Amino acid sequence: MAIPVSIVVPCRNEAENILPLIKGIVQSMSVIGQFEIIVVDDASDDGMAGLLDEELKTRAELRVLRHDRPGGQSAAIHSGVVAASHDLICTLDGDGQNPPEELARLVAPFFLADAATLGLVAGQRVGRKDTLARRLASLLANTLRSFVLRDGTRDTGCGLKCFRREVFLTLPYFDHMHRYLPALFARDGWRIAHVDVSHRPRSAGRSHYSNLQRGIVGIFDLMGVAWLLRRSKKTRATEVDRTAAAVAGGKP
């Protein structure tokens, strides 16, 4: 791997899941190249903080950020990306449902010949292991989002993503922005790639969101992102090379 990777894991109250997930990330990434793991603890109160403190003593590749109050998944991802040491970022959820074995498939497109225009690789879950109600709610939300934003993404809610750090930090930040990354990257002229990824059932803990909560918040978010896309800039500036300018101007 020519480019080191920062793995950002946003999580809250995942004491039963976080250590097996860290172990899985280490096993998956160790055969690929240089990496760091940044776990962003979104003010957990289930004992996860103590487990992470112990893990820090033996995991040189592990870093832990801790929010002083719950901020949500987008806030946790943003904190992790800001703190990251490397230019390429991978994200996955802290509940263990995103298999860390899929990380290599997200990174791989950035090493192809046409990677210069690639901004984001988005995982798209196949064979989801969620409840029927949650799958139906996700299908409805994804269908509506795709119709409004035309982002070409089947499953924007998948936590498995890989993207350029410097591009992410130029995007407008708002709560729940992580669900709209394909549209936001494309808004600024970056190419998006999609990779089908597997999905695991939740082995412990519970989701922190209800379908109703996601739906109500999602309507307002969708309206805001649609406005951002309509108001996006249409140009990109490039600096003029001094030598080329001098030649064009007839100067020696």
Domain positions in the chain are: 5-248
Q: Which residues of the chain have pLDDT under 50?
A: 211-212, 252
pLDDT of res. 82: 98
pLDDT of res. 138: 67
pLDDT of res. 241: 77
The structure tokens listed for 74 are 């987008």
Rounding to the nearest 10 degrees, give the CA dihedral for residues 200, 201, 205, 211: 100
CA 244 to chain centre: 39
Q: Give one DSSP letter per residue of 105-117, joined into a string.
A: HHHGGGGSTTGGG
pLDDT of res. 205: 63
Q: How many helices (H) and strands (E) does the chain have?
A: 9, 7
pLDDT of res. 142: 66
pLDDT of res. 218: 66
pLDDT of res. 69: 96
Tens digit of each residue's pLDDT (9 = 90 or more) over 149-191: 777 777 778 999 999 999 999 999 988 889 899 999 998 999 9
Tens digit of each residue's pLDDT (9 = 90 or more) over 235-248: 566 688 777 666 66
pLDDT of res. 195: 95
Contacts for 111-114: CB closer than 8 Å, 24+ residues apart = 111/1, 111/2, 111/3
pLDDT of res. 171: 94
Rg (CA), the chain: 19
Are the beta carbons of 61 and 35 closer than 8 angstroms? yes
Torsional sign, CA 24, 177, 70, 218: negative
pLDDT of res. 245: 65
Q: What is the CATH number of domain 5-248?
A: 3.90.550.10
Are the beta carbons of 27 and 3 closer than 8 angstroms? no
Are the beta carbons of 13 and 48 closer than 8 angstroms? yes
